[in-house]
């Protein structure tokens, strides 16, 4: 008889958690990077970036605060789970109301801290009003995943001047997902980060996924120019490369390194590995977007 999900969780996941993770955890855990979205919004065709119906099977069409609570309990069953939350970070998601949904839900659930998904076209007045009315703790910079824009946009375009000024004025956290194929290895990105942090010293700039450094070459050289910036923080969500972590902790003060999951994507069992300087998701189960284990293996 095939092993049930519950049996696998108790046999594999909880053994690792109990023996290796729990002994070094504090009583409370803060997840700096978690997503919220609803089926009603994902049903809109423009919103289907991660929808199962758009080819990303294994990623839920609906992932609200209740689902996030369930994930937090599975990951940290004996700890208090806190999470910084935001919707899918795309301009079309903003148009469909993701910020309202995230803001309302955070008022109903304890230990949830919403970020406003902001687009480059938002005016300063609009951003200020929405931030204050929605009780947001900061900004998640939206990115345009259209191939041309994602390949060419600079940080100073997606993270607009209006966003930067308000983040500095209010001392906000800013979750910055950088575009372009070279990611943190792009010298223009490094120059933009240096400039933004210098000009906005009271803003807390967080590099999502270590600047998308899933492989060592993205971070190996660029980190030396960025490692001592006092208002720059490093979000490790979905980074699973041991050598990347070695580079990170040899360079950056650990007080500026932030734990994150990237839920619900992180609920999929697997591992992100680097092959020929490119990352590949190797999953336990069969998905069209990933490599997967050979059938018959038990763990």
Say if 299 falls within a structural domain.
no
Residue with tokens 């519950």: 6
Say if 14 falls within a structural domain.
yes
Mean pLDDT of 264-290: 85
**Residue 48: Cβ within 10 Å count:** 18
Cα 171 to Cα 271: distance, rounded to the nearest angstrom = 35
pLDDT higher than threshold 90 for residue 147? no
Mean pLDDT of 271-292: 83
CATH number at residue 263: 3.20.20.140
3-state helix, strand, coil in the chain (%, to 5): 45, 20, 35
Mean pLDDT of 157-167: 97
Residue 53: pLDDT band by 50, 70, 90 thresholds?
very low
pLDDT, averaged across the chain: 90
Q: Is residue 252 within 8 Å of 223, Cβ to Cβ?
A: yes
Residue with tokens 């060419």: 152
Phi/psi of residue 145, each to 5°?
-85, 5
Question: What long-range pairs does 17-25 form, CB within 8 A, spacing at least 24?
Answer: 17/75, 17/77, 22/78, 25/76, 25/79
Paired residues of 202 in beta bridges: none
pLDDT tens for each residue of 225-244: 999 999 999 999 999 999 99
- What does the pLDDT read at residue 18? 97
Question: Residue 162's domain spans which residues?
Answer: 5-292
Say if 58 falls within a structural domain.
yes
Cα 274 to Cα 83: distance, rounded to the nearest angstrom = 28
Mean pLDDT of 242-258: 97
pLDDT tens for each residue of 93-107: 888 899 999 999 999
- What does the pLDDT read at residue 290? 79
Cα 287 to Cα 299: distance, rounded to the nearest angstrom = 17
Whether pTM > 0.75 for this model: the answer is: yes
Surface-to-core class of residue 189, CB atoms within 10 Å of its CB (0-12 exposed, 13-18 middle, 19+ buried): buried
- What does the pLDDT read at residue 299? 47
- What does the pLDDT read at residue 120? 93
Q: Edge-to-edge, what's the strand order for the sheet holding 257-258?
A: 28-35, 80-86, 112-118, 138-141, 173-176, 204-207, 232-235, 257-258
Mean pLDDT of 251-266: 96
Mean pLDDT of 129-135: 96
Say if 34 falls within a structural domain.
yes
- What does the pLDDT read at residue 278? 84
Residue 295: pLDDT band by 50, 70, 90 thresholds?
low
Q: How many domains is the chain partitioned into structurally?
A: 1
Say if 46 falls within a structural domain.
yes
The pair of structure tokens assigned to 186 is 């792009």
pLDDT tens for each residue of 8-52: 999 999 999 999 999 999 999 999 999 998 766 655 655 555 454
Say if 98 falls within a structural domain.
yes
Cα 85 to Cα 36: distance, rounded to the nearest angstrom = 7
pLDDT higher than threshold 90 for residue 280? no
Orientation angle between helical segments 124-134 and 161-170, nearest 10 degrees:
40
DSSP assignments along 240-297, one per residue? --HHHHHHHHHHS-GGGEE----BTGGGS-EEEEEETTEEEEEESS--TTSEEPPTT-
Cα 226 to Cα 235: distance, rounded to the nearest angstrom = 14
pLDDT higher than threshold 80 for residue 178? yes
What's the farthest any 2 CA atoms get from each other in the chain?
A: 61
Say if 298 falls within a structural domain.
no
Say if 190 falls within a structural domain.
yes
Q: Which one has a higher pLDDT value, 295 or 164?
A: 164
In 74-202, where do the E strands start and end?
Answer: 80-86, 112-118, 138-141, 173-176
Strands 291-292 and 278-283: parallel
């Amino acid at each position: 008889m095939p092993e049930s999900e519950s049996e696998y969780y108790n046999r594999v996941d909880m053994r690792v958690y109990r023996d290796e993770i729990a002994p070094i955890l504090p009583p409370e855990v803060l997840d700096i990077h978690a997503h919220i979205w609803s089926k009603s919004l994902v049903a809109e065709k423009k919103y289907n970036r991660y929808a199962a119906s758009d080819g990303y099977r294994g990623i839920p069409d609906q992932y609200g605060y209740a689902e996030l609570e369930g994930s937090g309990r599975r990951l940290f069953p004996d700890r208090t789970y806190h999470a910084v939350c935001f919707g899918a970070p795309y301009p079309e998601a903003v148009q469909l109301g993701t910020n309202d949904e995230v803001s309302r839900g955070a008022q109903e659930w304890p230990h949830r801290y919403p970020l406003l998904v902001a687009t480059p076209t938002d005016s300063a007045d609009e951003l200020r009003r929405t931030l204050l009315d929605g009780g947001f703790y900061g900004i998640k910079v939206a990115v345009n995943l259209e191939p041309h824009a994602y390949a060419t946009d600079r940080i100073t375009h997606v993270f607009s001047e209006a966003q930067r000024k308000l983040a500095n004025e209010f001392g906000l956290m800013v979750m910055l997902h950088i575009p372009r194929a070279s990611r943190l290895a792009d010298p223009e990105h490094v120059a933009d980060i240096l400039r933004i942090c210098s000009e906005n010293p009271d803003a807390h700039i967080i590099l999502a996924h270590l600047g998308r450094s899933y492989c060592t070459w993205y971070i190996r050289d660029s980190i030396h120019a960025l490692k001592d910036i006092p208002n720059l923080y490093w979000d490790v969500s979905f980074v699973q490369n041991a050598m990347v972590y070695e580079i990170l902790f040899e360079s950056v003060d650990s007080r500026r390194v932030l734990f994150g999951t990237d839920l619900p994507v992180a609920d999929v069992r697997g591992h992100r590995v680097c092959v020929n300087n490119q990352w590949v998701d190797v999953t336990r189960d069969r998905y069209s977007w990933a490599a997967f284990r050979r059938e018959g293996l038990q763990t």
